[in-house]
Structure 1
Amino acid sequence: MMKLHWSPRSPFVRKVMIVLEETGLTEQLEQVRSVVAMPLPPNEAVMADNPLGKIPTLVTEEGKALFDSRVICEYLDLRAGTGLFPADPTARVDQLTWQALGDGLTDILLLWRTELTRETGPWEAVTEGWLAKVRASMARLESEVPDLRASGFGIGLVAVICALGQLDFRWPDCGWRDHFPALAAWEAEMAARASVSANPVVNDQGEGENEITLGRLAF
């Protein structure tokens, strides 16, 4: 049985869980709740499998540790032959580009939240730059909704879904749907897909943990 270092709050773990659902491999997996965070000491159990100390980390039946989410998702797709990473060069590049955009947007949101929890306060020049990049990323996705709709369900769409889920989880009052209506309509359709709805972001650390003033994320 495979082992996954897992958290219900991690957008990158969610990405892997959606792919597991799509590939039909969920039943072949043991989920190990693993707490990791930039301000915390490294999790020794995770470090034993991944020297970077990050999740998700997947350990195969043969004992081979795979990381990060991009490698894990491609491994699962190759194993199941699902086609989330298309063989056609044009379709593949499209999916990989959307994956890069979705993962990059998620990275910014995670780093931004960590920056805002610093005791000395956030570095405004950095957060202002992140704000500009988040706005630009969302505008790009809004313009590409017709292409997202026309493509088959692939890894790029999974990454974008998880980025938008992270936006909702950490900035629930940012109102992005009012500013990007085509993207909002597409996201609602994707949210109804079985693999997505079965793997929501869940805060299992208590109600107060998520209540952090997250600055000026306004569109």
Structure 2
Amino acid sequence: MQLFHSPTSPFVRKVMVVLHETGQLPAVELLPASGHPLASQNMPTAHNPLGKVPTLLRDDGPAIYDSRVICRFLDARADGTLYPEAGIWESLTLEATADGIMDAAVLMMYEIRCRPEEMRVEDWGEAQWQKIVRALDALETHWMDHLATARLDIGQIATGCALAYLDFRLGNRDWRGDRPALAGWCAEFTQRPSMQATIPVG
């Protein structure tokens, strides 16, 4: 298999963590891909019409894309346990919440990187941050029992990658603030070998 890969993408990192956790990293060749909507020449548009990473080329079928699809495929391929039948809707909803944090944070970065300063819309960027704030509050208020369970699932992986991306790209924003439980969980989760092995650089 081949994975179109950018080390700074939180969605790629989620896939990489799953590869580590399921022992499948040796089965995948990493293909560098980087860009954004205004510079897609180095993105896998021939395999993914959306021109996004991650995109996975399989040995026995067409390319698949979107980190949620790839992660579920990899877990099934390894007969893994990241999508437990008991509590599956909670795991998937937590993953969707974390992916929403990543989406909003990436859009904030695009606003900075893709638009000239005189064309940036501050209110739009703040609206994205407010999505993140609401999601973080929900994690602190409603999801700590799920996050703190000893059984690893895709919701925990996605949340760990989302929080780490905030530190990586939006470190000037204090997301921990009044969220001590979430901050404590993140500090512990990011010590997992799979998270340490996928720390972004750049």
TM-score, normalized by length of structure 2?
A: 0.92
Q: Summarize the alignment of residues 62-141 of structure 1 with structure 2, pairs less than 5 Å apart.
A: 62-88=60-86, 91-117=87-113, 118-119=115-116, 120-141=118-139
Q: Partners of 1:19 and 1:161 in 2: how far apart?
A: 12
Residue 175 and residue 82 in structure 1: after superposition, are their counterparts in 2 closer, same or farther (change >3 A)?
Answer: same
Give distance in 1, aligned partners of 2:128 and 2:198. Answer: 27
Provide the residue aligned with 1:3 in structure 2: 2
> What amino acid is the match of 1:100?
A
Q: Distance in 2 between matches of 1:166 and 1:71?
A: 20
CA shift, 1:21, in A, is 0.7
Tell me the residue number matched to 2:144. 145
How many residue pairs were aligned? 199
How much does 1:105 deviate?
A: 0.7
Alignment check: 8 A CA contact 2:95 2:156 kept: yes
Distance 1:106 1:35 in 2: 17
Deviations 1:174-199 (A, max 9, x none): 22224321111101111111211111
Q: In structure 2, do the counterparts of structure 1 residues 7 and 93 end up closer, same or farther at CA, with 3 Å as the change threshold?
A: same
Over 3 Å counting, the alpha-carbon distance change for 1:76 and 1:168 in structure 2 is same
Structure 1 residue 63: deviation in Å? Answer: 4.7
Question: Percent identity between the aligned chains?
Answer: 40
Q: Secondary structure in 2 aligned to 1:5?
A: strand
More moved, 187-196 vs 149-158: 149-158
Could you say what the CA RMSD is over the residues aligned between the two structures, in angstroms?
Answer: 1.5
Q: CA shift at 1:14, angstroms? A: 0.2
Q: Distance in 2 between matches of 1:36 and 1:128?
A: 23
Aligned residues of 1:36 and 1:53 also touching (Cα < 8 A): no
2:51 paired with 1:53? yes
Query: How far 1:60 moved relative to its partner?
Result: 0.9
Instruction: Report how far residue 170 of structure 1 moved.
Output: 0.8
Taking the aligned partners of 1:150 and 1:63, their CA distance within structure 2 comes to 35
Structure 2 counterpart SS, 1:187: helix
Q: What is aligned with 2:156?
A: 157
Unpaired stretches in structure 1, ≥5 consecutive residues: 204-219
Which ranges of structure 2 fall in alignment gaps of 5 or more residues? none
Shift of 1:122: 2.1
What are the within-5 Å matches in structure 2 for residues 167-206 of structure 1? Answer: 167-203=166-202
